[in-house]
Each structure stands twice: as structure tokens, then as C-alpha cells.
Amino acid sequence: MGGLIKSSIARKVAMALSGFFLVFFLLFHCTVNMTSVFSADIYNQFSHFLGTNFVVQALMQPILVFGIVFHFVMGFILEIQNRRSRGVKYVQYKGSANASWVSRNMLISGAVILAFFGLHFYDFFIPELVHKYVESHPEDPTRYFPELLHKFENPVRIGLYVVSFVLLAMHLWHGFASAFQSMGVNNKYTPGIKKFSKAFALVVPAAFIFIALFHHLNGH
């Protein structure tokens, strides 16, 4: 029994750490994308550096892909573990009386977000690999901004983008604060951490949505 408890705690800590990594990636990615609203040149410079830097391409991108898959697979494992631990009582479990809709549906929002990440990689990452290594085009440091505008032309893609980031906000609303709890953070700073995590859950996804809508409405 003790080993099972330790195993469960270890999984929660591992999921929290991978969650923190993905939160940092979201903030960085949002910052880079936000430059496209103010300056095409700055966005091109950032994108060119990230797109040609060996450390980013050969090391950070594989780690990012692993982190995304690991985080959501661990989420599925923990959800299955929680259901099994409730056993027969799960039938009588009244989730709405004990937890918010967001916390009770982390698995659903996580699955949709994972699908969105897959679409995002298909939409951006795979074409980038084809451009560099299959078609072998000469590197053009000014190509990134026009490509960004092209991606945001399709209203269907914009709709999917908005829905995905609304679900991401809901996922972060519960998950970001829970990650600190999983790490054992419970002190005088906890109320401030909860406020910060909820603000992050609203501001960062809203910024992504703003960027997409801005370019969709102004990029033609």
C-alpha cells in the first residue's frame, strides 16, 4: 500500500513538473508571437533565430514534444488510477457536489488540447521540416511573417484555434494551481500563487486568441 501511495505521489510530481515546463513554453511562445502584432521585422528575427539555432532545433524541440506527450499521458494514467481507487463508490460519486466542472473534466479538456497540439505541429512544424530538409529551399529570414499571416487566413482554423485556447484556459485554471499543490507548496505565498496562476490561465490564452484574430482581420 505504501508503495502504491509513493507511486501515485511520484506520478503527480512528474505531471506537475512537466506542466511547469509547458507553462514556460506557452509564455515564451506567446511572447514571440506577440511581437508579430507590433513588428514583422522583430518577429522574423526571433523566428529566424529559433528556426536555425541548432540547440533549439536538435535539443529543445524533441524535449518539448516529449514533454507534451508525457504530460497528457500521465494525466490519463492518473485519471484511471483515481477511478480505480474509488472502486464501486465511483458510481455513487457526486463530482458536482465536490468539485468544479473544470476540475472534473480535465481529461476531456486535456484530450482536446492534445489534439490541438497535434494539429499545430501538422500546421507549422511539419511544413517547416519539409521546407528545410525535403524541398531544401535557401533560408529566407523574412519568410516567417508572411507564412504566419497565411496560416491565419482560414476562418475555420481561427475557430478551432479560439476553441482550443478557451479549453486551454479552463485546463490551466485548475491545473496550474494544482501543480503547486502536487509539489507540496502550501505556505503564506499560496493565496498569491493561486491568484497568479488564475491570471496566467486567463491572460496567456487570451493573448494567443488576440494574436490570431488580429492577423485574421488585418492580414488581408
Measure the CA–CA gap between 70 and 13, rounded to whole angstroms.
Answer: 12
At the top level of CATH, which class does the domain 8-79+106-218 belong to?
A: mainly alpha
Residue 3, pLDDT > 60, answer no
Which of 60-64, 68-72, 99-103, 153-157 shows the lowest per-residue confidence on average (mean pLDDT)? Answer: 99-103
pLDDT(33) > 90: yes
Per residue in 82-141, pLDDT tens?
767 655 444 444 554 455 555 565 666 677 777 777 777 777 777 777 777 777 667 788
Indicate the domain borders of the chain: 8-79+106-218
Q: Which cell goes with 47?
A: 523566428
**What is the CB neighbour count within 10 angstroms for residue 106?**
18
Q: How many CB atoms lie within 10 A of CB 177?
A: 19
Count CB atoms within 10 A of the CB of residue 151: 19
Residue by residue, what is the 3-state secondary structure of the chain?
A: CHHHHHHHHHHHHHHHHHHHHHHHHHHHHHHHHHHHHHCHHHHHHHHHHHHHCHHHHHHHHHHHHHHHHHHHHHHHHHHHHHHHHHHHHHHHCCHHHHCCHHHHCHHHHHHHHHHHHHHHHHHHHHHHHHHHHHCCCCCCCCCHHHHHHHHCCCHHHHHHHHHHHHHHHHHHHHHHHHHHHHCCCCCCCHHHHHHHHHHHHHHHHHHHHHHHHHHHHHCC
Q: Are 209 and 165 in contact (CB under 8 A)?
A: yes
Nearest to 65 by CA among 99, 103, 25, 108: 25
Q: Using only the alpha carbons of the chain, give its radius of gyration.
A: 20
* Most confident of the following: 58-67, 86-95, 192-201: 192-201
More confident call, 219 vs 102: 219
Q: What is the spatial distance between Cα 87 and Cα 113, in angstroms, rounded to a whole number?
A: 28
